[in-house]
Amino acid sequence: MIPIAAFVGKSNSGKTTLIEKVIGELTRRKYRVVSIKHTLHAFEIDHEGKDTWHHRKAGAVMTMISSPAQIAVIESVARDYSIEELCRRFVTEADIVLVEGHKETKSPKVEVSASESIDDLLCLEDEQLIAIACDTHLGLHVPCYPRHRGDLFADLIEQRFLKGT
Amino acid sequence: MIPIAAFVGKSNSGKTTLIEKVIGELTRRKYRVVSIKHTLHAFEIDHEGKDTWHHRKAGAVMTMISSPAQIAVIESVARDYSIEELCRRFVTEADIVLVEGHKETKSPKVEVSASESIDDLLCLEDEQLIAIACDTHLGLHVPCYPRHRGDLFADLIEQRFLKGT
């Protein structure tokens, strides 16, 4: 099973900015990173007027576009899939899966917080919490690094999940 | 194995318009249609500035976005996948897979032609050719229907691949 680490936190806590840095750092270290963004909202990923957009609009339950360099798949589903299900279904080759969102996941997680207060944390009681990204040092039982230090979170993930692979 | 029918033909022959009609028609008849667009060109399916776009840009080899209604996957690949490989890898539940492009596929195919001449056909010698979409009746060994008659191509696909499923 490919290891999974989730970056969770409130809206506008800086999750995307941090995960982007961690992806970049691990990619530079030659790991193959898969990322998963979880959202409860509807999203539009295709461009109006494109062929694939026409296929979807006509009713296709799944549309793919395939080229020698890239494959994209858009599928209608009837329920929210867990991260583990998504990985089993779609991920074949990767060293690490980084997730943005999905704080209910049972995977190890980093909480990203823009607040200076412990009281604002969502996952303090979560046994899967492995670190906190916060610009104030909170003095907790898990490592706490500033949100802009993608390198330190990459170190942590590398040490914990990737050494020896 | 889920049946596959490919719509092939030269650029601007009207493939997308026809396949869109066929998808719509088969969807109205309660079939679950998967569509695959094949291209040799680079494509951009995500929107600049979106979270998933940031993940890809940072180097993720695969990025997913998942919601309770829709899943999208964008993956970098090192070679052109065959339709059969794409189906095995990604398609779990469907009644029919309709493909746009990929005239080299060994799957049954419909050639779409904007020309009035037999000489312009690409797949006349192809054993997998099952019909032609052309606005001039060419008098060949396979059915030839006008390009706007998505219903007739849906009938053909239903008769050939879906009756009894």
How much is the pTM? 0.91
- How is residue B162 written in tokens? 């879906």
- Which residue in A has a C-alpha nearest to residue B70's C-alpha? A76
Collect all residues of chain B within an 8 Å Cβ-Cβ radius of residue A68: 40, 77, 79-80
pLDDT tens profile B56-82: 999 999 999 999 999 999 999 999 999
How many Å lie between the alpha carbon of B108 and the closest alpha carbon of chain A?
19
**Nearest Cβ partner for A54 among B16, B36, B61:** B16
Collect all residues of chain A within an 8 Å Cβ-Cβ radius of residue B92: 89
**Residue A17 one-letter amino acid:** T
The widest CA-to-CA distance across chain A, in whole angstroms, is 55
CB contact under 8 A, B77 and A91: no
Answer yes or no: are the C-beta atoms of A5 and A106 closer than 8 Å.
Answer: no
SS (H, E, C) chain A: CCCEEEEECCCCCCHHHHHHHHHHHHHHCCCCEEEEEECCCCCCCCCCCCHHHHHHHHCCCEEEEECCCEEEEEEECCCCCCHHHHHHHHCCCCCEEEEECCCCCCCCEEEECCCCCHHHCCCCCCCCEEEEECCCCCCCCCCEECCCCHHHHHHHHHHHHHCCC
pLDDT tens profile A11-28: 999 999 999 999 999 999
pLDDT band at B36 (very low <50, low <70, confident <90, very high): very high
pLDDT of B165 above 60? no
pLDDT band at A162 (very low <50, low <70, confident <90, very high): very high
pLDDT tens profile A60-87: 999 999 999 999 999 999 999 999 999 9
How many angstroms separate the Cα of B138 from the Cα of each of A33, B110, B130, B135, B164? 52, 14, 14, 9, 31
CB contact under 8 A, B37 and A81: no
pLDDT of A48 above 70? yes
Hey, what domains does chain B have and what are their CATH numbers? 4-40+80-162 (3.40.50.300), 43-77 (no CATH)
* Per-residue DSSP letter, B119: G
pLDDT band at B44 (very low <50, low <70, confident <90, very high): confident
- Which residue in A has a C-alpha nearest to residue B36's C-alpha? A64
| ipTM at complex level | 0.92
Q: What is the pLDDT of residue A165?
A: 54
Mutation site for B-interface testing, chosen from A13, A15, A22, A37 by largest number of B Cβ within 10 Å: A37
The length of chain A in residues reads 165
Collect all residues of chain A within an 8 Å Cβ-Cβ radius of residue B77: 68-71
How many angstroms separate the Cα of B44 from the Cα of each of A47, A52, A69, A111, B35? 9, 11, 11, 32, 18
pLDDT band at A104 (very low <50, low <70, confident <90, very high): confident
Dihedral angle of Cα A110, A23, B63, B88, to the nearest 10 degrees: -100
Mutation site for B-interface testing, chosen from A51, A84, A92 by largest number of B Cβ within 10 Å: A51
Collect all residues of chain B within an 8 Å Cβ-Cβ radius of residue A95: none
Q: What is the pLDDT of residue A105?
A: 85
pLDDT band at A49 (very low <50, low <70, confident <90, very high): confident
The Cα A104–Cα A126 span in angstroms is 10
pLDDT tens profile B103-149: 888 899 999 999 999 999 999 999 999 999 999 988 889 999 999 99
